[in-house]
Structure 1
Amino acid sequence: MKTQYSLLLLLLLLGFTQCKSPAAKPDRISDEALMDTLQRRTFNYFWEGAEPNSGLACERIHIDGIYPEDDQNVVTTGGSGFGIMAVLAGIDRGYVTREEGLARMERIVSFLETADRFHGAYPHWWFGDTGRVKPFGQKDNGGDLVETAFLMQGLLAVHQYYINGSPAEQALAGRIDTLWREVDWNFYRRNDQNVLYWHWSPEYGWEMNFPVHGYNECLIMYILAAASPTHSIPATVYHEGWAEKGAIVDPHKVEDIELHLRYQGCEAGPLFWAHYSFLGLDPTNLSDKYCPGYFNEMRNLTLINRAYCIRNPKQWKGFGPDCWGLTASYSVNGYSAHAPNESADHGVISPTAALSSIVYTPEYSLEVMRYLYGMGDKVLGPYGFYDAFSETEDWYPKRYLAIDQGPIAVMIENYRTGLLWKLFMSHPDVQTGLKKLGFK
């Protein structure tokens, strides 16, 4: 009897030990599986959720079915550029067949060939069923050069993916090259000034009056403008316009972390400034006369964002090492460019902020990804994590924005394989533009 009791106790102890072993947890998803799950779901925003006529990205998808007036068939230029890269990665991963992917890209390019353009530049929004411009604002009803740059960044990656492919793929690459060559970057200098302007309207001309200076999300626009084989800007436009004759350099510290550049309107900007230009443009070892290393600069911007959320000066519920990320997104009161300072911090976490920074801070971004995944349906839907939430306000809208979803899928792929970086950087025009502006 005593022997049987001892054996039973031993078995119970062994069972208890096995249950406590981390290796025995069947519900812990690996990092690779977690990334693939999120990349695939977010890819589907741009695949299953695409506007059917154009094949491009819907500006927004609201799972709750509540939309602004006349907004359900609106497609977005910049978000579509990001989405094209997300789809490209999905094709390469086999989420869809190469034939299906080519058919989608052909539909997209066919739409872009006939949609409204203004001196080669696309508007911020179109109606997807007609290709006609939908004004982003009363006077913002013409060309948007920044959104066009985001779109061209994606198209040039597609060009490189197909340029050595089948006859049909090479033909599509040729059509993309025509669209690329037709963007008149020089026109947007507004009568040959040494700066690029964001907007032009056939009705209101230059009344938006927005010359673009750095640093913000618009670096890619200046690089592509210099790279154009047909309407290339002089290098002085970059040096005097974007860099303002060197005034862009402003070494300073935020959260005791060093930054080298001056950020427009703030000491450290929202995190989309670390993402949008670098979805195709590879920041690794990239430098110019104003920044000794773009990768380190963007990594530090990310670390500042995280450090601010951990310090959490406004004492928001939920902020911490595994739940951080401030960027432009939906907010408790509309839409806001959340940033790591108290005036731009509204207690809202935007998943795209930390997740799209995975190339800069993989360990920290994966902590956030895993934490959010553990929150389940509250923040996770059919197309990946919803756009934003606030634990303090118990606010969990089931809504998506294309321009926030795209960078998640693209940067996860860049972290996993560098695919989009390799494609974009391999374009000979891109290399010409970088060399022209003094990048190394």
Structure 2
Amino acid sequence: MERRRFLMASTAAVIASFGIAACASSPEHVSGLPLDPAVEELQRRTFDWFVRVTDRDRGLTPDRWPTKSFSSVAAIGFALTCWPVGVERGWMTREEARFRTLNTVRFFHDAPQGPDARGMTGHKGFFYHFLDMDTGHRFGTTELSTVDTALLMGGMLFAARFFDRDDPQEAELRRLTQAIYERIEWDWAVVRPDRITMGWHPETGFIEADWHVYNEGMLVLLLALGSPTHSVPTTVWDEWCGVYDRSWTDAWGPVHLHFAPLFGHQYSHLFIDFRGIRDAWMRTKSAEIGAFDYFENSCRAVQAQRKYAADNPGGWAGYSAAVWGLTACDGPGDFFQVVDGREREFFSYSARGPGERDDGTIAPTAAMASYPFAPLEVTACLKAMKDRYGAAIYGEWGFLDAFNPTLKDRDGPLLHGRILPGVGWVDGDYLGIDQGPIVTMIENGRSDLVWRYMRTEPNLRRGLERAGFTGGWLAA
């Protein structure tokens, strides 16, 4: 009891001292707040990016743009999530959204699957991380990816719930989506006891890394548990939660399950409303420290990042309680450079966050996709970024992927972006996997749209129940 009181008191003190209110795990927490026009503008511009770059006939979304690139399977899943948002907002007709979605689902349903290294889009029901934009087949030697398949399926399953009319095309969309989901051999991906592998290569076999630490992999496990054809044992979830204590920390602010880059606290939440539902680990933790769930955990992760930016232990330019946000994103390149008399190390595309790499690179998606967790703070961050850096980082398609105010000149070449006088390094691209969460999470904050439909998704519900989740909307 004394430990419980201490944790509750210390967490409350940290939050109060930083001027942040704790989250409320109720459906009314976010959607009842008035929406600032700046947030709506950002959501619309980012949505328009997906309309601009996604192939209508097959649904392939590039990994990045305007730099020519391959297609990202996860970004395709995010595009599928965007189309219903557009319908709800009046930005796209239902007919156009249905056309795009059905074409995408047909493509993946009919795309070649098999063990060959070339000419395939997937294998064992999974899909390759990156696909060639022209052929739709595996790009280069990219891996068969369990998480990117899960993110694609998240978009498909949501779309299948949204397009619910008694219409031949919408019925076909629902049927094909379920068929794609049911052929994924999740059990094949359990290579080591009670752990799902991150991927597989036809040349070398399974990747050594598994989903075995708190991160975005929750969606992988829950979809695997919910499969009616190739489900994994419930001990997979027990194993997943069995290492949580390694991540439980107050090192960066309010005590929570720590994962340095914010995308790990966002991706599963794109599709799953974790407010008020708890597995066994969360029920135990709630008994120790008071009501706690995965939604609250993400709220605290956001609070920790804001505190980290305000404290700014690395002395990076531009960090503050108003401008913050570290995640996986583009960076200027991999090099060392002396800045203001201090040698600094910079990185290209990399995961960034407290306790992880930090080279002064800020990713707007980190904050913007946290809208349901801290709507007022995210809105303030959006305005501060626009006020401080303006058109250098924000334009027709929303925010460029990343910027770094510390790097104001460069002795050698840059891998991405350019140096702008008075601003610093600014990326030249938009990344699909960073754009998508902005649209979706703002919408979840506005209307619960994706969460509301996914609460009725039977496969996901089965996965949650097999993982031991109870309470909240699951009890309704």
Do they fold alike, i.e. is TM over 0.5? yes
Structure 2 residue 418 is the aligned partner of structure 1 residue 404 = no
Partner of 1:340: 354
Please state how far the C-alpha of 1:274 moved relative to its aligned partner.
0.8
Q: Contact (CA 8 Å) 2:305, 2:354: kept in 1 or not?
A: yes
State the 1:53 CA deviation: 4.6
Measure, in 2, the Cα distance between the counterparts of 1:107 and 1:73.
Answer: 21
Match of 1:390 in 2: 404
- 1:24-60 deviations in whole A, cap 9, x for unaligned? xxxxxx9432122111111112111113552232100
Matches within 5 A, 1:79-94: 79-94=75-90
The CA distance in 1 between the partners of 2:127 and 2:366, in whole Å, is 26
Letter in 1 for 2:213: G
Displacement, 1:177?
A: 1.2
Contact 1:379–1:398 (CA under 8 A) maintained in structure 2: no
What is the root-mean-square deviation of aligned Cα atoms in Å? 1.7
- Which amino acid in 2 is paired with 1:367? A
The 1-side partners of 2:252 and 2:126 are apart by: 39
Gaps of 5+ in 1: 1-29
* TM-fit CA distance, 1:179: 0.8
Q: Is 2:167 the partner of 1:166?
A: yes
- Aligned-residue offset at 1:231: 0.8
Confirm or deny that 1:189 pairs with 2:194: no
- Aligned residue identity for 1:239: D
Specify the structure having the higher radius of gyration (Cα): 1
Aligned to 2:117: none
Runs of 4+ in structure 1 off by over 4 angstroms are: none
1:168/1:54 Cα in 2 relative to 1: closer, same or farther (>3 Å)?
closer
SS in 1 for 2:381: helix
C-alpha displacement of 1:329: 0.1
Deviations 1:382-420 (A, max 9, x none): 221010001121111231111111000100000000101
Q: Is the 8 A contact 2:402 2:427 kept in 1?
A: yes
In the alignment, what sits opposite 1:11?
none
Query: What SS does the aligned partner of 2:59 have?
Result: coil
Alpha-carbon distance in 2 for matches of 1:434, 1:237: 13
Partner of 1:286: 277
Structure 1 counterpart of 2:313, which letter?
P
Partner Cα separation in structure 2 for residue 46 and residue 314 of structure 1: 35
Which moved further from structure 2: 48-57 or 352-361? 48-57
User: What pairs up with 1:203-218 in 2 under 5 angstroms?
Assistant: 203-206=203-206, 208-218=207-217
TM-score (norm 1): 0.84
Letter of the aligned partner of 2:359 in structure 1? H
Could you say which residue in structure 2 is the equivalent of 1:369? Answer: 382
Q: CA deviation at 1:92?
A: 1.9
Preserved contact between residue 359 and residue 414 of structure 1 (Cα < 8 Å): yes
Query: Aligned pair 1:360/2:361, yes or no?
Result: no
Quick one: which of 350, 353, 364 aligns to 2:363?
A: 350
**Matched residue, 1:111:** 107
Residues 56 and 108, structure 1, Cα contact 8 Å, conserved in 2: yes
Alignment of structure 1 residues 41-56 onto 2, 5 Å: 41-51=45-55, 53-56=57-60
| Alignment correspondent of 1:121 | 126
Residue 385 to residue 111, structure 1, CA distance change in 2 (3 Å): same
Deviation at 1:296, TM superposition (A): 1.1
**2:394 matched to which residue of 1?**
380
Name the structure 1 match of 2:454.
424
Between stretches 45-54 and 348-357, larger displacement belongs to 45-54
Q: Deviations over 1:312-370 (max 9, x none)?
A: 112222111211000000012211211013x5111111000011111101111110111
How many angstroms does 1:165 deviate by? 4.4
**Under a length normalisation based on structure 2, what TM-score does the superposition of the two structures give?**
0.78
Residue 96 (1) aligns with residue 98 (2)? no
Distance 2:373 2:166 in 1: 32
Q: Letter of the aligned partner of 1:96 in structure 2?
A: M
Which amino acid counterpart does residue 56 of structure 1 have in structure 2?
L
Match of 1:48, SS state, is helix
Alignment of 1:35 onto 2:39: yes
